[in-house]
């Protein structure tokens, strides 16, 4: 194990890192990553040909761009980093294509850590057709723990682009277990504490469900089949399902009526949120996704989701008219605040101490 000094990643290590580029068969890459190369260059015409072939269309695709970091503790930051960015691309129907990574490491970080991260990054990118286009990495005293951030691009033909156009009367569907990601993080961080309250089987099941955070394949498959019925798709990340619902509708001055008893939540999430005095509906929920769709298609879409994807899917409410209140269990909703995972980790620390 070699401890990395402050400054740039050593040349030999960097040379080995850039050999792990994820998916190798994407067309249109003019400049690949290499030590000393600070940019990626793409031939969009070649990329457009590839996307047209995938969707069997002749239209010019939209380019979709997304950037997101990983800030909460996770057992596999490479997987989470790629997945959360890929999820956001999927909410508008985009197929992921390429990613750039920024990594900031504290002094004396092991070279094994960065190599392990890059191997896992390359593996998940390779499995999802994503090419690692480049990025930046350095060791700096400005951080106390590793910071991973990514920018991702994807493409979608205009006829498959999912708009943000919710309408009064639309049904609101939640697909996937809400709070599962936060549950996995809390169980991993407080395994000793929860071992006295939950069975080992329950703990492992909660951690496993918490790692099922990808929505990309689910959304893209549904988009192909029900594109004309979808008016908005949004993943429930920080702020949980509560925050996601507010983000979906408040910008349009639309209201909603939500019945929380229909929101899919696992028993283990209910238990640990009760132990830690936090709200499961405000707990980070990557892997859960909101579909706002024309009401006449809602039951059919739910049936399709429950047949073909991970986690339960339910109709949880409806969109109401402009100027009407956002209502959650008949209570007025307020703008999302800090995720309850922060409160949960703090409460967990106090209980352990």
Report the helix count and the strand count for the chain, using DSSP H and E. Answer: 12, 14
- Spatial strand order of the sheet with 7-8 comes to 7-8, 131-139, 95-105, 147-156, 62-70
Along the 353 residues of the chain, how does pLDDT read in single tens digits? 688 889 988 999 999 998 998 998 899 999 998 898 889 999 999 999 999 988 889 999 999 999 999 877 777 899 999 999 999 999 999 999 999 999 999 999 999 999 999 999 999 999 999 999 999 999 999 999 999 999 999 999 999 999 999 999 999 999 999 999 999 999 999 988 999 899 999 999 999 999 899 999 999 999 999 999 999 999 999 999 999 999 999 999 999 999 999 999 999 999 999 999 999 999 999 999 999 999 999 999 999 999 987 779 999 999 999 999 999 999 999 999 999 999 999 999 888 87
Q: Three-class SS of residue 213? A: coil
For tokens 């949120």, the residue is 273
Domain ranges of the chain: 7-160, 171-352
Enter the pTM of the model. 0.91
Return the closest-CA partner of residue 230 out of 178, 304, 177, 176. 304
- Provide the strand spans (E) within the chain: 7-8, 29-31, 41-42, 62-70, 95-105, 131-139, 147-156, 171-175, 230-235, 254-258, 289-293, 313-322, 326-328, 331-332
Q: Output the CATH code of domain 7-160.
A: 3.30.1330.10
Fold (CATH) for 171-352:
Phosphoribosyl-aminoimidazole Synthetase; Chain A, domain 2 (3.90.650)
Measured in degrees and rounded to the nearest 5, phi and psi for residue 57 equal -140, 165
Residue 353 CA to its chain's centroid (Å): 32
């Amino acid at each position: 194990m070699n401890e990395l000094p402050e400054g740039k990643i050593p040349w030999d290590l960097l040379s080995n890192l850039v050999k792990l580029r994820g998916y190798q068969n994407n067309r249109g890459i003019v400049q690949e990553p290499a030590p000393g190369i600070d940019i990626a260059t793409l031939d969009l015409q070649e990329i457009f040909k590839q996307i047209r072939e995938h969707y069997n269309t002749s239209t010019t695709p939209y380019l979709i761009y997304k950037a997101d970091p990983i800030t909460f503790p996770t057992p596999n930051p490479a997987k989470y980093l790629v997945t959360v960015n890929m999820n956001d691309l999927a909410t508008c129907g985009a197929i992921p294509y390429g990613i750039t990574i920024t990594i900031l490491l504290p002094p004396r970080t092991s070279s094994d850590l960065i190599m392990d991260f890059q191997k896992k990054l390359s593996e998940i990118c390779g499995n999802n057709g994503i090419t690692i286009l480049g990025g930046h990495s350095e060791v700096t005293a400005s951080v106390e723990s590793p910071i991973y951030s990514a920018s991702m691009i994807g493409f979608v033909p205009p006829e498959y682009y999912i708009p943000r156009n919710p309408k009064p009367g639309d049904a609101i569907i939640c697909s996937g277990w809400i709070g599962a990601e936060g549950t996995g993080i809390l169980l991993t961080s407080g395994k000793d504490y929860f071992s006295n309250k939950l069975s080992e089987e329950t703990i492992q099941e909660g951690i496993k469900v918490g790692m099922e955070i990808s929505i990309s394949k689910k959304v893209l498959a549904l988009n192909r089949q029900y594109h004309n019925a979808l008016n908005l798709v949004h993943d429930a990340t920080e702020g949980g399902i509560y925050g996601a619902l507010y983000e979906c509708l408040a910008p349009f001055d639309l209201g909603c009526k939500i019945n929380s008893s229909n929101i899919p939540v696992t028993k283990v999430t209910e238990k640990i949120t009760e132990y830690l005095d936090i709200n499961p509906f405000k707990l980070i929920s990557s892997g859960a996704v909101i579909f706002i769709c024309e009401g006449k298609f809602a039951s059919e879409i739910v049936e399709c989701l429950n047949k073909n994807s991970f986690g339960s899917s339910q109709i949880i409410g409806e969109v109401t008219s402009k100027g009407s209140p956002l209502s959650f269990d008949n209570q007025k909703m307020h703008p999302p605040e800090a995720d309850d995972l922060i409160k949960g980790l703090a409460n967990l620390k106090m209980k352990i101490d």
